[in-house]
Amino acid sequence: MGDCKGIIENYKDYLLPDGSTRLELAKKILLSEIIPTIDYASNITVSLFYSLESTEKPREIVQPILHKGKNDEQLKNAIKGIAIPHETGGTPITDALLNCINRLKNYSDSDRKIILITDGEETGKKDYKIAAKNALKVSGISCNIFIVGISLKPEARIKAESLVKETKGEYFHLETSNYNKTTIQNKLIPLKSALIVDTVNKITSTKIEEPKVEINKTHDEKSTPEKITALEQNVSDNNKLLNLISKQVSLIQSGISKQNEEDDFDDENLIVRENRQLNEKVRKASETYLFGLLKKKFGERIQWMNENGESGESYDFKVLDSIDNSIEYYIECKGTIGKEKVFYMTKNEWSLFLKNSSKYQVYFISDALLNPKEIKIDNLMNWILTEKVVPYPTRNRKQKAERIIFTIIE
User: Which tens digits make up the pLDDT trace of 88-111?
Assistant: 666 788 988 998 998 888 886 678
- Worst-scoring range by mean pLDDT, 82-91, 124-133, 263-272, 294-303? 263-272
Q: Which of the 8 DSSP states describes residue 359?
A: G
Residue predicted with more confidence, 248 or 351: 351
Q: Express as a percent the part of the chain with pLDDT over 90.
A: 27
When mean pLDDT is compared across 116-120, 200-204, 336-340, the lowest value belongs to 200-204
User: What is the pLDDT at residue 197?
Assistant: 75
For residue 68, count other CB atoms closer than 10 A to its CB.
Answer: 11
| Residue 352 or 201, more confident | 352
Residues 6+ apart with CB under 8 A from 359: 327, 328, 329, 330
pLDDT band with cut points at 50, 70 and 90 for residue 272: very low
pLDDT of residue 315: 97
pLDDT of residue 138: 84
pLDDT in tens, 217-258: 444 455 566 665 666 566 566 666 666 776 666 666 555 555
Kindly report the CATH class assigned to 3-198: alpha beta
Among 192, 211, 140, 147, residue whose Cα is nearest residue 173: 147
pLDDT of residue 187: 73
Question: CB 370: neighbour CB atoms within 10 A?
Answer: 7
- As a whole number of angstroms, the distance between CA 88 and CA 37 comes to 31
Q: What is the pLDDT of residue 263?
A: 45
Over residues 148-163, mean pLDDT: 89
- Does residue 286 carry a pLDDT above 90? yes
Over range 154-181, report the average pLDDT: 84
Per-domain residue ranges of the chain: 3-198, 276-408
pLDDT class for 54, splitting at 50, 70, 90? low
User: For 276-408, which CATH class?
Assistant: alpha beta
Q: How far apart are CA 79 and CA 74, in angstroms?
A: 9
Give whichever of 97-101, 251-255, 302-306, 356-360 has the largest mean pLDDT.
Answer: 302-306
Torsion, Cα 234 240 245 248, to 10 degrees, reads -150
pTM for this entry = 0.56
